[in-house]
A and B are shown apart, each in its own frame.
Chain A
Amino acid sequence: MMNTFQFDTASLLLALPEIFLLSAIVVVLLLDLFLTKRFKQVTYYLTQASLLITGVLSYNLIGHPETVIFSNSFVLDDMASVFKVFMMGFSMVAMVYSRHYLTQHSLFRGEYFILVLLSILGMMVMVSGYSLLTLYLGLEILSLSLYTLIAIARKRSGAIEAALKYFVLGAIASGLLLYGMSMIYGISGSLNISDISAFASDANLGARETLIINFGLVFLVIGIAFKLGAVPFHMWVPDVYQGSPTSVTMFISTVPKIAAVAMLVRILVDGLGAMHAYWADLFMVLAVLSIALGSVVALMQTNIKRMLAYSTISHVGFIMLGFVTGVVSGYGAAVFYVFVYILISLAAFGIIILLNKEGFEADQISDFKGLSKHSPWFALMMLAVMLSMAGVPPFIGFYSKFFILQQVISAGFITLAVVAVVFAVISAYYYLQIIKSMYFEDADKDITISAPMDIQLVLSINAILILVVGIFPDFWMKLALSLF
């Protein structure tokens, strides 16, 4: 009895990034309490340092052979480590942009950074989750932090509405996910991903077992689709994106997508890969609906955050298309798409935040009018971002769509590819509309960019990366493929 409960130091070392981040959260939280107003920036710098160190620790674990620790509930493989490194990098960029927004709108509080760190910890648990319970635990840490993060602007009624809506719909989604998990557990007798995989790929699986697995599978897919924001489970996305403070919108729409995709891979690919024929059908419907609705409804938006919300929905459709293919290269293309989408999305929100001034919330498409005259450099960047989102070569957004469509076609779904391309062309209209406002319309108000150097610098690098990775997409693509 005694021997089963021992601390295994070797396995603790494999969870070092998580352990470090948790300790860092505790330190930052306690320190922030005792900092006077003059030194509040220290919280920000400590947050960045914690993210950096966590990223380095995860980076050092890349190449470690796949190991399952903590009573078969936590896995360390290359996918987990690479995802964590990307999560840390993207979060650091998001925090640089956030700080400017928070100081402009007097929302700068230590709790903001603590909640971001906590949600990242949740995402790390999700990425490494190897049992349904761990995955769910990570998801809840992530979601609860995000609900609170939105409500941090508690004086804005829009933010409160967004937080409440997100909370209620998120709770429903968690409930559906849990119900699906209980079905899978009930029939397979295990919460562990590899046990479930062994059970589902058993050749002698009876008709009744298959039926119950499928029953649970539908709920799992619905839960995941809710979290990704795929049509018809997208209702929360536009309202939450519009109501949240822009920096929170940026965070919600970017980094958690990695965790959601990781959960999808763990449950559906690693766990229920044998059931691919069943869930791929569901994904096909979700993907086509997402691409269609996201592209068409975005045409009518005047609020840029709402427009980007619908654009996210259509991007999610493309990500799901990658999983329809059912081949490793398709999954790799989907992961590549996620990374690319986050890179572009961060730059888009970064430029929106750049236009914010004290007491002025830039969230209308008309706020971009005449940007090219006042700041040709950032107008050029927005041009790169929008062309990339629309999928114009040589920007990276072209390659991400190209790889997905290539895989979809080689898997034999020609119709799907045609539908996706048609709607991608339709969606180009609203991306080009922003470019038109920037270059061919005159400003109806005074635009001055008063952002500090750090955000301008990071934003420039971010936008240049969109072009550079677009010209040399090989490295990222190979990296994404090597994860499966």
Chain B
Amino acid sequence: MLENYLPIMVFIFLGIAFGVGPMLIGYLLGPNKPDKEKNSQFECGFPPFDDSRMYFNVRYYLVAILFILFDLEVAFVFPWAVVQSDLGWFGFISMSIFLFLLVVGFIFEWKNGALEWE
């Protein structure tokens, strides 16, 4: 039973080694001579003129969340489309109900003004 999980463990260790290994080798073997210029941020050759942690409009956040919601539905639609010919009417009606509920959500957000920019 437990030996079935051996490949997974091997995979985990390989994955960690693959990520950590090169960085570790680079750190250990590479020459390390820091100076002020090398440690400052690289911004297309210009001297940096702003902090990268700046304020941004909260609307982006709302749009991003709504985007995620409706983007994820595609994750269901793709596998469904592949096997739709086997599922027949059952699959079609099920997916129609699912998409209908999403449309209801879409009407809700539209009517509530979540899509208005100003």
Q: Does B101 contact A (CB under 8 A)?
A: yes
CB of A109 to closest CB in B, whole Å: 11
**Can you list 20 A-B pairs with a CB-CB distance of less than 8 A?**
A1-B86, A2-B86, A2-B88, A5-B86, A5-B88, A5-B91, A6-B90, A7-B89, A7-B90, A7-B93, A26-B101, A26-B104, A29-B104, A29-B108, A30-B104, A30-B107, A30-B108, A33-B107, A33-B112, A34-B111
Within B87-117, which residues are at the interface with A (CB < 8 Å)?
87-91, 93, 101, 104, 107-108, 111-112
* Complex CA–CA separation, A17 to B86 (angstroms): 30
Chain A residues with Cβ below 8 Å from B107 are 30, 33
Chain A residues with Cβ below 8 Å from B104 are 26, 29-30
* Complex CA–CA separation, A2 to B89 (angstroms): 10
Do B111 and A33 have beta carbons less than 8 Å apart? yes
Chain A residues with Cβ below 8 Å from B93 are 7
The 5 closest A-B pairs by CB, nearest first: A5-B90, A33-B111, A5-B87, A26-B104, A1-B86
CB of A241 to closest CB in B, whole Å: 29
* Size range of the chain B interface in the assembly: 10 to 19
Complex interface bits, A3-37 against B, C-beta within 8 A gives 1, otherwise 0: 00111000000000000000000100110011000
* Complex CA–CA separation, A34 to B108 (angstroms): 10
Chain B residues with Cβ below 8 Å from A5 are 86-88, 90-91
* Size range of the chain A interface in the assembly: 10 to 19
CB of A2 to closest CB in B, whole Å: 6
Closest to A27 in B: B104
Closest to B105 in A: A29
Chain A residues with Cβ below 8 Å from B86 are 1-2, 5
Chain A residues with Cβ below 8 Å from B112 are 33
Taking A5-B88, A30-B107 as given, write out 9 further A-B residue pairs in contact, using a Cβ cutoff of 8 Å, ordered by the A residue number.
Answer: A2-B86, A2-B88, A26-B101, A26-B104, A29-B104, A30-B104, A33-B111, A33-B112, A34-B111
Chain B residues with Cβ below 8 Å from A26 are 101, 104
Chain B residues with Cβ below 8 Å from A34 are 111
CB of B65 to closest CB in A, whole Å: 13
Q: At the interface, is chain B mostly helix, strand, loop or mixed?
A: helix
Closest to A209 in B: B1
Chain B residues with Cβ below 8 Å from A1 are 86
* Complex CA–CA separation, A5 to B89 (angstroms): 8
* Complex CA–CA separation, A30 to B111 (angstroms): 10
Chain A residues with Cβ below 8 Å from B91 are 5
Closest to A6 in B: B90
Within A356-403, which residues are at the interface with B (CB < 8 Å)?
none
Within A67-84, which residues are at the interface with B (CB < 8 Å)?
none
* Complex CA–CA separation, A30 to B104 (angstroms): 7
CB of B115 to closest CB in A, whole Å: 14
Closest to A32 in B: B108
Complex interface bits, B77-92 against A, C-beta within 8 A gives 1, otherwise 0: 0000000001111110
* Complex CA–CA separation, A5 to B90 (angstroms): 6
CB of B72 to closest CB in A, whole Å: 15
Chain A residues with Cβ below 8 Å from B111 are 33-34
Complex interface bits, A172-188 against B, C-beta within 8 A gives 1, otherwise 0: 00000000000000000
Within B18-65, which residues are at the interface with A (CB < 8 Å)?
none
Chain A residues with Cβ below 8 Å from B90 are 5-7
Closest to B97 in A: A22
Closest to A212 in B: B1
Within A318-348, which residues are at the interface with B (CB < 8 Å)?
none
Within A11-65, which residues are at the interface with B (CB < 8 Å)?
26, 29-30, 33-34
CB of A40 to closest CB in B, whole Å: 15
Do A33 and B87 have beta carbons less than 8 Å apart? no
Closest to A33 in B: B111
Known: A7-B93, A26-B101. A33 touches B88 (CB 8 A): no
Chain B residues with Cβ below 8 Å from A7 are 89-90, 93
* Complex CA–CA separation, A113 to B91 (angstroms): 32
CB of B70 to closest CB in A, whole Å: 17
Chain B residues with Cβ below 8 Å from A30 are 104, 107-108
* Complex CA–CA separation, A6 to B89 (angstroms): 8
CB of A127 to closest CB in B, whole Å: 21
* Complex CA–CA separation, A30 to B112 (angstroms): 11
* Complex CA–CA separation, A30 to B107 (angstroms): 8
CB of A23 to closest CB in B, whole Å: 10
* Complex CA–CA separation, A29 to B93 (angstroms): 22
* Complex CA–CA separation, A34 to B111 (angstroms): 8
Do B101 and A33 have beta carbons less than 8 Å apart? no
CB of B50 to closest CB in A, whole Å: 32
Closest to A26 in B: B104
Q: Which of A5, A6, A26, A30 has the most CB of B within 10 A?
A: A5
* Complex CA–CA separation, A30 to B90 (angstroms): 26
CB of A16 to closest CB in B, whole Å: 15
* Complex CA–CA separation, A244 to B101 (angstroms): 29
CB of B98 to closest CB in A, whole Å: 12
Chain B residues with Cβ below 8 Å from A6 are 90
* Complex CA–CA separation, A1 to B111 (angstroms): 43
* Complex CA–CA separation, A7 to B88 (angstroms): 11
Chain B residues with Cβ below 8 Å from A29 are 104, 108
Closest to B110 in A: A33
Chain A residues with Cβ below 8 Å from B108 are 29-30, 33
Closest to B87 in A: A5
CB of A141 to closest CB in B, whole Å: 12
CB of A186 to closest CB in B, whole Å: 9
